[in-house]
Amino acid sequence: MARVDWKVSGYLRVEDSLIPNTILDEDDPSGTDVVERPLRGVRVQVKASTHVNGRFNSWGTEVTGDDGYFEITQRKNEKPRKFQVLIELNDSDLSVRSKANVKERLAIYQSRSREDGPDIDLGQYVLREGSGGNVSISTQWKALTWYICKCVMTTLRNDGARSAFKRKVRVRVPANTIGGAPWARGIGNDNVYIMQDTFNLVTIIHEIMHIWNYQHNYGITNWIAAVWGDSDTTGNQENPNVAFHEGFAEYAAWELMHLIWSLPKGLPYSRHELMTRRSLSSLSMVERNWKGVVSYLRMMTAFNPAELVVGVAGDLSGEYASETGDTTGCPTGQLVTFFDVLRVFSKGGGWKTEWQVTNRSYGIRRFFRRASDILDTFSDSASQLMLDAIDPAGTVEIMDRCEDLVTDVDRNARRRMRARRAQSATGPSPSGTRRRTETIWRHPVRAKAGSPGSKKTVRRKTKKKTTRKRSTRRG
């Protein structure tokens, strides 16, 4: 029988009801519009059998392109065949599966009868569950999680290596955990666990951004202590570092949804919302609340900060700040971008370590001080102005002191502050002056035995005493 070139091809897509084209409600982040998303970077395996109930033999694997297209060819005889198509959601950057350390190949297509060749075109093959569907709901969730995570990773990588994930991320979905809550485990293995009841767009991005945070800082959040009292890391009052860790992940999730899918950019909360609904009456309380951290970061990265009006606590205003401020005479434009926020996690500006999530004092106010040292567009005066504007007990609006947003006049002041900080580590300040000092925590490094600086290799150079013998010669 003559041999021909068989080809199995198609475009892999997944039905998506998580990412809507309409405004999302932050308290109910579920989608309404159903669209189809291409599955890129998925490993596809094709198997074939010439018998109705025979064994399937592999024809090889192929990785889908950006549009989800795959094509696998084999030179075989002309006999009709049954086909199987399987996918594996695993590469060097990401894996999505339901069980740990198990290779999952998900069957997405199988011929009902033998098919004549040589071209087997699956066309636009959309993974969907339910009536008229072709896969289980578990498979659809995994494929959709893969699509979302890949979009996030590509967006961050396009900004440069500093913004990219540093290690592989492993997502378990659907997973079962104690307490039934989604969480991210950043102790070396970078695992994310998504429950069936919490499967939504915001949760997926929120949890993988916890992993990003772990990969760009020093230490691990003291989450055990955080959940000991109230069984949660999002309580009304947590340690500043815990509140920042949760608030940053939530802020990053909404910012990425805006950047990737053009969903509305989040606004900071109004003073009335912070004081009444959140029961936050001071800056220190706002810093210890994850929603307060979200509000800080949104104000920092607003398109036009001077337009924001947060009101006063007594006003029966809305949940979020309005963009109705009078910007006459005020600088316009965005001071800090989302990717600038990511830069603050890295060393720089006199800070010798990455962001230290394990240090309880590393909250949003420490982050603002660090940002004013690292970013040229965010001054000390702008930092203080935004702290005053977010204070639930205050009355200041950014437009009232919008001249503080200008950065040029503050650069020399920041340089002097850095010089003072460096001087505080080397010697006392001049008499009659007070120096603002700030401790930057450093992990102690102990010299290994046999290395320069250890006791075994420290040798003191001593001058060897020599005595000259008297000559016995006379005359």
pLDDT for residue 268 is more than 80: yes
Residues 129 and 248 in one domain: no
Residues 121 and 8 in one domain: yes
Residues 120 and 236 in one domain: no
Determine the pLDDT at residue 201. Answer: 93
Task: Calculate mean pLDDT across residues 48-76.
Answer: 93
pLDDT band for position 207 (cuts 50, 70, 90):
very high
* Domain CATH for 18: 2.60.40.10
Percent pLDDT > 70 in the chain is 76
Cα atoms in the 13 Å half-sphere on the side-chain side of 208: 31
Q: Say which residue, 409 or 262, is predicted with more confidence.
A: 262
Stated pTM of the model: 0.80
Residues 269 and 391 in one domain: yes
Q: Is residue 192 situated within a structural domain?
A: no
Distance, in Å, from the CA atom of 445 to the CA atom of 453, rounded to the nearest integer, reads 11
pLDDT for residue 108 is more than 90: yes
Determine the pLDDT at residue 57. Answer: 94
Q: Is residue 173 situated within a structural domain?
A: no
Residues 113 and 256 in one domain: no
Q: Is residue 283 situated within a structural domain?
A: yes
Task: Calculate mean pLDDT across residues 205-233.
Answer: 69
Q: Which of 69, 39, 249, 70 is nearest to 144 (CA)?
A: 39
Choice among 289-293, 320-324, 333-337, 447-451 with the minimum mean pLDDT: 447-451
Burial of 432 (0-12, 13-18, 19+ CB in 10 A): exposed
Determine the pLDDT at residue 183. Answer: 80
Beta bridge pairs of residue 170? 95, 191
Residues 116 and 8 in one domain: yes
pLDDT for residue 312 is more than 50: yes
Distance, in Å, from the CA atom of 411 to the CA atom of 375, rounded to the nearest integer, reads 10
Q: Is residue 209 situated within a structural domain?
A: no
pLDDT for residue 416 is more than 60: no
Determine the pLDDT at residue 432. Answer: 38
* Three-state secondary-structure class, residue 441: coil
**Which residue range forms the structural domain that includes residue 361?**
231-419
Determine the pLDDT at residue 402. Answer: 92
Determine the pLDDT at residue 418. Answer: 54
Beta bridge pairs of residue 76? 4
Q: Say which residue, 330 or 411, is predicted with more confidence.
A: 330
Domain count, the chain: 2
pLDDT for residue 336 is more than 90: yes
* Domain end among 102, 134, 166: 134
pLDDT band for position 459 (cuts 50, 70, 90):
very low
Q: Is residue 168 situated within a structural domain?
A: no
Determine the pLDDT at residue 475. Answer: 36
pLDDT band for position 440 (cuts 50, 70, 90):
very low
Q: Which residue bears the tokens 């945070």? A: 213
Residues 130 and 235 in one domain: no
Task: Calculate mean pLDDT across residues 165-183.
Answer: 84
* Domain end among 81, 112, 134: 134
Task: Calculate mean pLDDT across residues 163-173.
Answer: 94
Looking at residue 351, its amino acid is W
Residues 393 and 247 in one domain: yes
Choice among 94-98, 227-231, 342-346 with the minimum mean pLDDT: 227-231
Distance, in Å, from the CA atom of 368 to the CA atom of 283, rounded to the nearest integer, reads 13
Q: Which of 53, 108, 52 is nearest to 80 (CA)?
A: 52
* Domain end among 108, 134, 160: 134
Distance, in Å, from the CA atom of 230 to the CA atom of 382, rounded to the nearest integer, reads 35
Residues 126 and 236 in one domain: no
Determine the pLDDT at residue 28. Answer: 53
Determine the pLDDT at residue 277. Answer: 84
Q: Say which residue, 123 or 450, is predicted with more confidence.
A: 123
Q: Say which residue, 102 or 253, is predicted with more confidence.
A: 253
Percent pLDDT > 90 in the chain is 56
Q: Is residue 176 situated within a structural domain?
A: no
pLDDT for residue 437 is more than 90: no
pLDDT in tens, 363-415: 999 999 999 999 999 999 999 999 999 999 999 999 999 999 986 544 455 55
pLDDT in tens, 5-24: 999 999 999 998 888 654 45
Q: Is residue 224 situated within a structural domain?
A: no
Residues 398 and 277 in one domain: yes
pLDDT for residue 29 is more than 60: no
Determine the pLDDT at residue 323. Answer: 92
pLDDT for residue 417 is more than 80: no
pLDDT for residue 225 is more than 80: no
Buried b vs exposed e over 153-179: b needs ≥16 C-beta within 10 Å?
bebbeeeeeebbbeeebbbbbbbeeee
Q: Is residue 23 situated within a structural domain?
A: yes
pLDDT for residue 249 is more than 90: yes
pLDDT in tens, 353-367: 899 888 888 999 999
Determine the pLDDT at residue 26. Answer: 54
Mean pLDDT over all residues of the chain? 81
Task: Calculate mean pLDDT across residues 344-359.
Answer: 90
